[in-house]
Homo-oligomer: A and B are copies of this chain.
Amino acid sequence: MPGSSFGRLFTLSTFGESHGAGLGVVVDGVPPLLEISEADIQKELDRRRPGQSSVTTPRNEADQVEILSGVFEGKTTGAPVALLIRNTNQQSKDYSALKDVFRPGHADFSFLQKYGFRDHRGGGRSSGRETAARVAAGAIAKKALDKLGVSIIGYTVEVAGIRAETIDFQEIERNIVRCPDAVKAAEMIEKIEEAKLQHDSLGGIVEAVVTGCPIGLGDPVFDKLDAVLSHALMSIGTIKGIEFGDGFAATRKKGSENNDGFVSKDGKIGTKTNHAGGILGGISTGEDIVLRVAVKPASSIAKEQQTVDIHGNPVPITVEGRHDPCICPRVVPVVESMIAVTLLDCIQVQRSIRGGL
C-alpha cells in the first residue's frame, strides 16, 4: 500500500486498522534531545478522540499511546519514535451486516476494486481512525515547532453555512465545536443537535493560522509550501477542498486589489495586507499562514439510504453504529497535526540548503 508514509526528512509511516490490534506510527527525522512524554502526545490525542462531547460520536475509546522507541531518559535520541495506540472498543459485530454492501460516501466500493479484497470491519485502513496516528506524530512536531516559536491554531470557522464573525483564539477550546466565536458556536451546536436527531450529518469549514513561521519554507517548483500543505491536508479523508489566504474569493478581485504591497514593519520587511495567506511563489513570507479546508458532512449516517450490494442488487442501507453528526471539532487537531509535520519537514529541508556551506 504505497502512500502510508509522508514527508521527506521528517517522515511518518502509519499502520493499523480500525478493527485490528491497534494503530501506530513511526516518526523519523525527529530532532535529537527534544523533551517528549506520553502525556504530551496524549493531550493531543484527547482532542481528537471519540466520545468527547455531545456533538461527536458517543463511541468511547481511550486512545492511550505507548512510546515504543526513540526516547531515552525523557528525550528523543534522533532515532525513529514509534508510537502505538491499541484498539480497545472495536465492536466488529456492528459492521458484519455491511459485509456485502457498499456504504454511500465511503471507500468500500473503490477499495474493493483496487485491491480485489476488503476488510469490511468499519473501513479498515480507510477508517478515519487512522488519523489518530497522525495526531500522535503531530504532537511531536508541535513540540519541536514550539521551540522555534512556531504555533498552529486550528478552529471550526463555519458549520452548515453558519460563519464565525469574531476570531478569538481563547474561545476555541471553550466550546465543543471548537469555534472561536462563542455566539456562533452556540448556533452551530444547535444545528448539529438537530441533524443528530434526524440521523443525519453536517459539514463545515476548518481554518488554521500559523504564526511565527520562518521565512523561506517551501521550494519554488513542485514542492511549493502551499502544494505540500495541500497534499498533507487533502489526504484527510473527509476534506474536499482547500484554499490559502483569500483563496477562491481572490478570483473575483483585480490584481491591484489582491497584490500585497511590501512595507517596512519594525525594521523588518513584510506586507501591508495578507491576501496571499503568508506564501508567495510557494515560499513562506513570514506573514501568518492562513488556510481553510472544506469538511464534508460525515458519510456515516443512520438515516436510510439507497445503495447496491456487491452483486449490483439495489438495497436500502441504514448505517448503524455511533456516528459523528459533525466531524469538524475532531478534524481540528488532525488539521493542526498535518500542518505541523509538514512545516517541520520543510524546516529540515530548508536547513539542508542554507546550513552553512
Q: A175 contacts the other chain (Cβ, under 8 Å)? A: no
Residues of B within 8 A of A186 (CB): none
Q: Does A297 lie within 8 Å of B117, measured CB to CB?
A: no
Closest residue of chain B to A284, judged by CB? B110
Q: How many copies does the complex hold?
A: 4
Contacting residue for A220 out of B126, B248, B355, CB 8 A: B126
Interface size on A, residues (CB 8 A): 159
Q: Does B255 lie within 8 Å of A294, measured CB to CB?
A: no
Q: Does B237 lie within 8 Å of A241, measured CB to CB?
A: no
Contacting residue for A32 out of B115, B280, B306, B350, CB 8 A: B115
Q: A227 contacts the other chain (Cβ, under 8 Å)? A: yes
| Interface residues in A295-329 (C-beta closer than 8 Å to B) | 295-301, 303, 305-308, 312-314
Mask: chain A, 93-131; 1 = CB below 8 Å from B; 0 = not:
000000000101111111101111101010111100010
Contacting residue for A356 out of B78, B294, B356, CB 8 A: B356
Contacting residue for A261 out of B20, B119, B307, CB 8 A: B307
| Interface residues in A190-214 (C-beta closer than 8 Å to B) | 195, 198, 200-205
Give the most central of A26, A158, A262: most B CB within 10 Å: A262
Residues of B within 8 A of A263 (CB): 306, 308, 314
Q: Smallest CB–CB gap between A273 and chain B, Å?
A: 10
Q: Smallest CB–CB gap between A85 and chain B, Å?
A: 10
Q: A70 contacts the other chain (Cβ, under 8 Å)? A: yes
- Among all A-B residue pairs, the 4 with the closest Cβ atoms: A107-B281, A3-B223, A355-B356, A241-B243
Residues of B within 8 A of A6 (CB): 222
Q: Does A104 lie within 8 Å of B237, measured CB to CB?
A: no
Bound CA span A24–B66, Å: 14
Bound CA span A235–B220, Å: 9
Bound CA span A204–B254, Å: 10
| Interface residues in A260-278 (C-beta closer than 8 Å to B) | 260-264, 267-269, 271-272, 276-277
Q: Smallest CB–CB gap between A305 and chain B, Å?
A: 6
Mask: chain A, 221-235; 1 = CB below 8 Å from B; 0 = not:
111101110111011
Give the most central of A68, A257, A277: most B CB within 10 Å: A68
Q: Smallest CB–CB gap between A50 and chain B, Å?
A: 17
Bound CA span A342–B354, Å: 19
Residues of B within 8 A of A88 (CB): none
Residues of B within 8 A of A300 (CB): 255
Contacting residue for A102 out of B15, B231, B262, CB 8 A: B262
Q: Does A124 lie within 8 Å of B77, measured CB to CB?
A: yes
| Interface residues in A33-86 (C-beta closer than 8 Å to B) | 33, 66-72, 77-82, 84
Contacting residue for A241 out of B247, B259, B305, B354, CB 8 A: B247
Bound CA span A12–B230, Å: 20
Q: Smallest CB–CB gap between A306 and chain B, Å?
A: 4
Q: Smallest CB–CB gap between A37 and chain B, Å?
A: 14
List 8 additional A-B contacts (Cβ < 8 Å) besides A114-B216, A259-B299, A351-B357: A1-B220, A3-B223, A15-B26, A17-B77, A114-B354, A115-B354, A204-B251, A352-B352
